[in-house]
Structure 1
Amino acid sequence: MNCQIARLSFTRTGLLTLCERSCGVVKSSVFTNVYQLRNQRSFAQSDMPKKDKTSKTPQKQPEPPTGPVSTLKDGQLAIAIHAKPGAKHNAVTDVSSEAVGVAIAAPPTDGEANAELVRYLSKVLELKKSEIVLDKGSKSREKIIKVTASISKEEVLEKLKSEAAS
């Protein structure tokens, strides 16, 4: 009697008890039920809907900057600067596709070179010092300068290139 109760409860899970094996009560119907349950499980797993990876909205790749001057989301301009502090005089050394090289006549201590860079760029771009802000790279040679004034990208590039040529 105990074997029959155990057999009924364990056939759902597909397990056979030691009692059934030792008593020899195992019938072919138990094996058939176990076989059917295992097939139902594997069939049910294969019928699960799979996630469609192509249904996601395509992410827009940000456009690589075409030069050292780029437009930010809020309409302001960002200028990539490669600072060279400790020079004899302030000068725009080169305008490449990655950054604008600027020699700064101030030592790179206590933010003196950063302040001098902002002063020099405001003179070159003919803007107020309050319209030019050091955005990133206060302790690095690679800096990002944010221009808050209403000036076009082309004007900024033209002024920087003319300063580099002189």
Structure 2
Amino acid sequence: MIINSCGRLRNVIFCPRYSNLNAMSKKSKLKTNASKVTPPAPKEEDSAVFLDRSNNILIQVLAKPGAKQNGITGITTEGVGVQINAPPSEGEANAELVKYMASVLGLRKSDVVFDKGFKSRSKTLKIVGNITLDEVKKKISEEIESS
């Protein structure tokens, strides 16, 4: 018998401190938990246009609302710079961004959806339409050159 911190008598068999269930050391517990954690999928060359684990095309966008006209300003490792001719209030710029990116890629508006960043300037768009990664990169590059 053992007296616990509350002053009650406890049987040794039921005490978690002396139980065989908790016989594993803290280091071995950490090792088993660490092996279950999967590292994030590497982006292709750390570009702004890449495939996720489910082979969906993702585009990181750095939105610049309130511009005079819609256009792609450039592409960096952080994202595709897109200026939008809509104010950043009540989701107007987001709707215009989806509409513009769909027209650049030659897709329907329903084929371009938000993945992250609905309220941020740094956004991630998911392309669910029938288009390849190389075609997306090519069309974005063509839009940059035509601007």
TM over 0.5: yes
Q: How does 1:32-51 map to 2 (within 5 A)?
A: 50=25
Q: What amino acid does structure 1 have at the position aligned with 2:54?
A: D
Q: How does 1:54-65 map to 2 (within 5 A)?
A: 57=35, 59-65=37-43
Q: What amino acid does structure 1 have at the position aligned with 2:129?
A: A
8 Å CA contact 2:41–2:52 kept in 1: the answer is no
1:127 is paired with a residue of what secondary structure?
coil
1:115 is paired with a residue of what secondary structure?
helix
Give the corresponding residue for 2:142: 162
Question: 5+ residue gaps in structure 2?
Answer: 1-22
Give the corresponding residue for 2:8: none
| Backbone CA RMSD of aligned residues | 2.0
Greater percentage in helix: 1
The share of aligned pairs that are identical, in percent, is: 42
Q: What amino acid does structure 1 have at the position aligned with 2:121?
A: R
2:41 is paired with a residue of what secondary structure?
coil
Alignment deviations for residues 101-150 of structure 1 (CA, whole Å, 9 cap, x no partner): 00000111111100100010001000011101122211110011111112
1:57 is paired with a residue of what secondary structure?
helix
Give the corresponding residue for 2:97: 117
Instruction: Give how far 1:57 is off.
Output: 3.4
113-122 vs 128-137, greater mean Cα deviation: 128-137
Instruction: Give how far 1:63 is off.
Output: 3.5
Is 1:127 matched with 2:107? yes
Is 1:90 matched with 2:65? no
TM-score if structure 2 supplies the norm length?
0.72
Instruction: Give how far 1:73 is off.
Output: 2.7
Is 1:136 matched with 2:136? no
Instruction: Give how far 1:49 is off.
Output: 7.0
Alignment deviations for residues 47-106 of structure 1 (CA, whole Å, 9 cap, x no partner): x77554656637442233221112123322111000000000000000111200000001
TM-score if structure 1 supplies the norm length?
0.64
Give the corresponding residue for 2:5: none
2:35 is paired with a residue of what secondary structure?
coil
Give the corresponding residue for 1:7: none
